[in-house]
């Protein structure tokens, strides 16, 4: 098979540079076997333009740092195989987050604010004693919690959410997934009435339009819509 010449049309802008204007810039590379988008961007930065900004840490689909819009669809650069893409690839930063530069956004700031707002930690009335063994948990409970704990906070679900683009205060699927995880945790003492106080409004569970965008783009294939449905049912009972 003849190697393709690839064109990467990349959004460029540094909001901290007063001379920087938002725009697109084209870069061309020859395709190589097994090339991922991360490899392509690394080559662009090393061979063509060292000023290009994008994020990465693990390069294995675990950290979530390299999320971006790839031909209009949120995804991870390290998990995107170029052979599955057209020869012309358009790249934008994830919408809904503070832009750092080019393809780099500050997902950490948003995730921290969301976690603090939802109090995403185990709430217990008893004081933890580090000198005793941890409380036992049924295997099926631990498995259900682990399933939701696989979220890597990449921001893809936030970028794909229609409600999020209209309501910046919306907690998003990642926020509701966090609360669903703690609601399953037998160590958490919160009641559904207390959860309702945090997400029982339009900027929470009742703002979700069930468009399935979050689940469609989740790189870890989490059951986001199932958990949102469970939460909505429980919160609806509290609101009656």
Of the candidates 169, 164, 199, 159, the residue with the CA atom closest to the CA atom of residue 182: 199
9 and 81 inside one domain = yes
pLDDT > 90? residue 133: no
Its pTM stands at 0.90
- Give residue 1's pLDDT: 57
How do residues 178-224 score in pLDDT, each as one tens digit?
999 999 999 999 999 999 999 999 999 999 998 889 999 999 999 99
Across the range 33-37, mean pLDDT stands at 95
Instruction: Please state the domain count of the chain.
Output: 2
93 and 163 inside one domain = no
Query: Do residues 160 and 217 make contact, with C-beta atoms less than 8 angstroms apart?
Result: yes
Length of the chain: 240
pLDDT band at 239, cuts 50/70/90?
A: low
Which of 45, 69, 104 corresponds to the end of one domain? 104
Which of 69, 104, 139 corresponds to the end of one domain? 104
Reduce the DSSP state of residue 155 to 3 states and report it.
coil
72 and 180 inside one domain = no
Query: Do residues 46 and 55 make contact, with C-beta atoms less than 8 angstroms apart?
Result: no
Across the range 112-131, mean pLDDT stands at 89
Say if 111 falls within a structural domain.
no
162 and 230 inside one domain = yes
Across the range 152-181, mean pLDDT stands at 94
Tokens 């064109």, located at residue: 7
Q: How many CB atoms lie within 10 A of CB 209?
A: 10
**Which is it for strands 88-92 and 98-101: parallel, antiparallel or unpaired?**
unpaired
127 and 235 inside one domain = yes
Reduce the DSSP state of residue 206 to 3 states and report it.
helix
Say if 211 falls within a structural domain.
yes
pLDDT > 60? residue 240: no
Say if 109 falls within a structural domain.
no
- Give residue 59's pLDDT: 87
pLDDT band at 128, cuts 50/70/90?
A: confident
Rounded (10°) angle between helices 172-184 and 224-239:
70
How do residues 94-115 score in pLDDT, each as one tens digit?
999 999 999 999 999 999 999 9
Across the range 32-50, mean pLDDT stands at 96
Contacts of 147 (CB under 8 A, 6+ apart): 222, 223
90 and 193 inside one domain = no
Range of the domain at 206: 119-239
């Amino acid at each position: 098979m003849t190697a393709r010449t690839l064109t990467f049309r990349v959004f460029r802008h540094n909001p901290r540079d007063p001379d920087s204007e938002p725009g697109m810039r084209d870069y061309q590379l020859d395709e190589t076997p097994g090339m991922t988008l991360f490899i392509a961007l690394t080559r662009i930065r090393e061979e063509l333009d060292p000023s290009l900004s994008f994020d990465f840490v693990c390069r294995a689909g675990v950290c979530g740092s390299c999320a971006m819009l790839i031909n209009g669809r949120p995804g991870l650069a390290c998990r995107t195989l170029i052979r599955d893409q057209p020869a012309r690839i358009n790249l934008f930063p994830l919408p809904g987050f503070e832009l750092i530069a080019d393809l780099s956004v500050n997902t950490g700031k948003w995730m921290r604010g969301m976690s603090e707002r939802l109090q995403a930690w185990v709430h217990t009335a008893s004081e933890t004693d580090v000198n005793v063994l941890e409380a036992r948990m049924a295997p099926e409970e631990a498995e259900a919690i682990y399933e939701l704990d696989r979220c890597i906070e990449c921001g893809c679900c936030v970028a794909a959410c229609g409600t999020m683009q209209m309501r910046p205060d919306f907690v998003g699927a990642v926020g509701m997934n966090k609360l669903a995880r703690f609601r399953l945790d037998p160590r958490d003492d919160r009641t559904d009435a207390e959860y309702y106080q945090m997400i029982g409004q339009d900027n929470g569970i009742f703002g979700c339009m069930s468009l399935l965008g979050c689940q469609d783009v989740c790189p870890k294939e989490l059951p986001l819509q199932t958990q949102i449905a469970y939460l909505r049912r429980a919160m609806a009972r509290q609101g009656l």
